[in-house]
Structures are given as C-alpha cells and as structure tokens.
Amino acid sequence: MDGSKVVVTGASAGIGAALAPMLTAKGATVAVVARREERLREMVGRGDAARYYACDLGDPAGAEAMINAAWHDLDGVDILVNNAAIPKRRSVQDLTQAEIDDTMRTNFESPVRMAQALLPKWLERNHGMVVNVSSFGGRAGIMHEAAYCASKFALCGWSESMAMDLWRTGVDVRLIIPGAIDTEIWDLPDNDEPFFHGDKEPPTTVAAGIIDAIEGDAFELYVPDMKSIAEFKTSSIDVFLRGNVEFVESQNQ
C-alpha cells in the first residue's frame, strides 16, 4: 500500500470518507471523488487525501475524463476504488425509465468506464487493481430496490468476468459485498422509506475490509459476512422470495 496511488469515488461521506484517511495512513497517495466539492476540499485540508475531483458519476463520459485527468495528475493510478452509488427505493410500478437509467449510469456504467479507461495503461505496466464496491443487493433482490439491485448485480457479474479475463495479467479485481451500513444512503430524499430498520455496521468496518481485500488475495469479501444468506437464496429461491414479501407485509401491518 505504501507509495500506491489510489482513487476513491463516493468519498464525501460514508465508506469512502472512512476509507480515504485509512489509505493515507498506510502511505498511499489518495485522490477523492464526489459531487460535494466543499466536503472534498475539507478532506484534503485535513490531510485525509492528497487531492480531489468534484465529479458527478451520473455522467459516464465525465467520469472517464476525470479518471484520465487523475492518471495525468498523479503520474499513474495503481488502485481504483469504485465506491460511489445512489439508491432508488421505489416499487417497479412507480419507477420511471429516467430513474432506472440514472441509477445504472452512476452505479454501473461509470465504474466500468473508469476501469476500462485505466485498463490499457495497467496492462502495459503489468500492474493495477480495481476494487468494485457492490452490495448484498447485488447478490439478492430487495423489495422496492429493483433499479439499485440491477445495477449492483451488473457490477458483480462484470467483476467476476473481468477477474477471469485478467487472470495472471498483473491486474487484479476485488469485489466487496457490504450489508446494511450506516451511511446517508438510507436517508436520501426522493426515495421510499426503507423496510430495514435493524442494526447497521459503521462505514469504518467496510473501509477496513476494503484494505484487507487490497492487501489480500481473495476476490470477494462480504462485510459483514452474509454469504450464507446469499447461498440460501440460490438454493431456495421460492422460499427466499416469499419470506421477504411476508416480512415486508408484516412490517406494514
């Protein structure tokens, strides 16, 4: 990690804001990316990051231009952490096509565009890593989160295929599967009330997990470990679907 140049998206709050100072403390040169420039400027001022890029990842072309600028400014990027994401809690009956498109652009298309922009440079150097932060909603569907889950399922599938295509090239892929994490994503406006009201993990737990994943060899990491639930869904999909519907209905009584 020491001496690595790392770009972290979605860094103005939550997991990204927790991760940046941890990476910096390990000797990495960190560039943070988000829409809220004031928060990014404060992070750089505190020494949590070396530089920032104010960028809306809802614009994939802008995201690609940003990562190319970061490569130039930092004289290379060793690790890209695709952490930025937006929710869209809405039943499929109420989702608009514009909402679906916006969610897919931010949560899937921009991460792909940025990684693909870096890939030729990484392959030339035989070195690089992309860390894709998906969600448990990328392994199991969640009611009223079809657009979000679709984007996260896509990111999981892309990551798996990318890891196989890049096997033994020196370019590594890591996939992070967070569960319920205590971030702003639960409280953002223009979203339905979340069904889940249980305990949530602090962002620092996921940030520490991301560092473990970067420094380790495993492709996939669940934080917290909910892999058994995802495996149960695969083995008993009808029970899983019915159980979730019944749970939500019971919460609304």
At residue 253 the predicted structure's pLDDT band, cuts being 50, 70 and 90, is low
pLDDT at position 193: 66
Average pLDDT over residues 69-87: 97
* pLDDT at res. 16: 95
Read off the pLDDT of each residue in 33-62 and give the average, rounded to a whole number: 96
What pLDDT sits at residue 17? 95
Determine if the pTM surpasses 0.85.
Answer: yes
Reported as a pLDDT band with limits 50, 70 and 90, residue 198 is low
Residue 29 has pLDDT above 70, yes or no: yes
pLDDT at position 228 is: 78
Mean per-residue pLDDT for 36-50? 95
Average pLDDT of span 144-164? 97
Q: What percent of the chain has a predicted confidence (pLDDT) above 90?
A: 74
Given its phi and psi angles, is residue 97 left (phi above 0), alpha (psi -120 to 50 degrees) or beta?
Answer: alpha
Over residues 30-50, mean pLDDT = 96
Query: With helix as H, strand as E and coil as C, how does 5-22 read?
Result: EEEEECCCCHHHHHHHHH
Query: b/e for 20-43, b at 16 or more Cβ within 10 A?
Result: bbbbbebebbbbbbbeeeebbeeb
Least confidently predicted of 46-50, 136-140, 212-216: 136-140
The mean pLDDT of 77-91, rounded to a whole number, is 94
Angle at 213 between CA 212 and CA 218, to 5 degrees: 125
Residue 17's nearest CA partner among 206, 222, 194, 201 is: 206
Q: Torsions phi, psi of 7, nearest 5?
A: -110, 125
Mean residue pLDDT across the chain: 91
Of 188, 179, 192, the C-alpha closest to 106 is 188
**Using an 8 Å Cβ cutoff, are 99 and 190 in contact?**
no
Asked if residue 186 has pLDDT above 70, the reply is: no
Query: What does the alpha-carbon distance between residue 70 and residue 34 come to, in Å, rounded to a whole number?
Result: 13
Q: Annotated catalytic sites, by residue?
A: 148
pLDDT tens, position by position, 1-12 = 789 999 999 999
Question: Could you state, in order of their start, the residue ranges of all structural domains in the chain?
Answer: 5-251
Looking at the domain 5-251, which fold is it? Rossmann fold (3.40.50)
Which DSSP category does 145 fall into?
A: B
State the Cα–Cα distance between residues 186 and 89, nearest whole angstrom.
Answer: 9
> Would you tell me how many other CB atoms lie within 10 Å of the CB of residue 182?
14
Q: Are 175 and 219 contacting, i.e. CB atoms less than 8 angstroms apart?
A: yes
Beta-sheet strand order (sheet of 128-133): 51-54, 29-34, 5-9, 79-82, 128-133, 171-178, 220-223
